[in-house]
Amino acid sequence: MLFINTRPTERAYHLTQALDFPVLELPLLELVPNKIDIEQYQQLAQAQVVVVVSPTAAQLGLDGLKKSGVSLEQLEHIQWIAVGKTTAQVLQKVGINAYIPELETSEGMLQLPILRNINKGCVAFWRGRGGRQFMMQHLQAQGTTILNFCLYYRQLPDHSPQIFKQNLRYIQHNMPIFVCISSEASWHNWLLLCKHYPYLIKQCIYLTLGERLTQLVQHTALLVRQIQNLTPKSIQEAVKEA
């Protein structure tokens, strides 16, 4: 068997080291910072809630606050949501305590009481380009004002197609193959890598994060297992149950 760890390079190491079966690191996403105007950070005090969707978003957002001259004291009224524990740890380093959903997805965050009761308030998103569209649309439909901080964009790393080609024979001879799919963007990049190998798409077992992503992958793939988070424990349990 083989587990393909598709997490961004800076997040893959811990997961790879914690697993007790063969792993191939094949990042499907890399995060490239965007420039955000200082004036946008100065609007942040209007928000009641800030949603932080990744460790990268947390760090880039905090860096932006520092450059803009906005202090955390000016944001004391704000409640923070982190998509997962790693993101929350970045915020905790500067004294920000964040709510963390049980399910580390948009759906999980929307179930938090703080967002279910936001009504017509204002929510800021520290996110990547193209991410969390479902979540923002859901809140906007309820009359919530959105402050959109697009802190980075995601792309397929330049070296990933080469890694894929160099390891294709190894992948083909190590069935079953488990592939971690953590976002819609990573799924589309996996399909791009495999466009000349449709049989491989059908043969793999996909570990997908959350219900909505699972349903998306099921439109194309036959073998899909939903996971609740990206911890080594969740990955190992899903592999053993497959």
pLDDT band at 26 (very low <50, low <70, confident <90, very high): very high
Measured distance CA(225)–CA(236) in Å, rounded:
12
Q: Is the pLDDT of residue 205 over 80?
A: yes
Query: In terms of domains, do 143 and 230 share one?
Result: no
Query: In terms of domains, do 99 and 144 share one?
Result: yes
CATH number of the domain that residue 226 is part of: 3.40.50.10090
Measured distance CA(36)–CA(178) in Å, rounded:
37
Please say which residue of 98, 133, 154 terminates a domain. 154
Query: In terms of domains, do 150 and 36 share one?
Result: yes
Look at residue 33 and give its three-state secondary structure: strand
Number of domains composing the chain: 2
Please say which residue of 132, 154, 176 terminates a domain. 154
pLDDT tens-digit map of 124-141? 999 988 777 788 898 999
Angle formed at CA 148 by CA 154 and CA 113, multiple of 5 degrees: 105
Q: Is the pLDDT of residue 156 over 80?
A: yes
What is the domain extent for residue 205?
Answer: 2-29+157-241
